[in-house]
Amino acid sequence: MSVKSLDTSALAGGAQTGFTTPTYDSTLATAPGPNGVLWIVSGKGGTQANVRLHSISDPFSVLVQIPQQYKLLPNANPITGLRGAIPRNTLFLKLTKGVQVASGVTVPMVVRLSADIPAGADAYDAANIRAAWSYLVGVLNDQSAGFGDTSVDGVL
């Protein structure tokens, strides 16, 4: 399953203070380039008072981009056996959510996640790439309400 196959109905959201069983319906939209996929939040469920859905002036979307061209592991030097700098392939995720900063004033909040994966690791150490994503998603799920609370009250 690739990242392009997001569950578009009733995606379970993470726990948040003041929300009860949040879910999100997503619609595939046109990404800004051929190397990305964009989903907009088109519906919501559970109790999420005052949460607004996606619109042009009040976005609620997730963009995932992959490299336009993947970099490969360079060959080892035939004499020394050493390799030069190992290039990285970057997977990029950007969540954009409109937030109000004053009455009638909506400004996009942007959350960025970037993974710089060393070229060659996909073939040589796929299990540990998967483990890194698994752990990160687990941390995000476990700390969902904590990130929300800290973003609002400034306390770690």
Tens digits of pLDDT across the chain (156 residues): 466 566 667 788 999 999 999 999 999 999 898 899 999 999 999 999 999 999 999 999 999 999 999 999 999 999 999 999 999 999 999 999 999 999 999 999 999 999 999 999 999 999 899 988 998 998 898 898 998 999 999 888
- 117 Cα distance to chain centroid: 15
pLDDT at 152: 93
Q: How high is the pLDDT of residue 126?
A: 92
d(CA 127, CA 145): 29
Q: What is the pLDDT of residue 99?
A: 97
Q: What is the pLDDT of residue 7?
A: 62
Amino acid 97: pLDDT: 97
pLDDT at residue 67, as a whole number: 94
Among 35, 30, 27, residue whose Cα is nearest residue 7: 27
Q: Specify the pLDDT at position 156.
A: 82
Class (C level, CATH) for 11-72+85-119: alpha beta
Burial class (CB in 10 A: 0-12, 13-18, 19+), 41: buried
Residue 70: the pLDDT is 95
What does the alpha-carbon distance between residue 141 and residue 127 come to, in Å, rounded to a whole number?
21
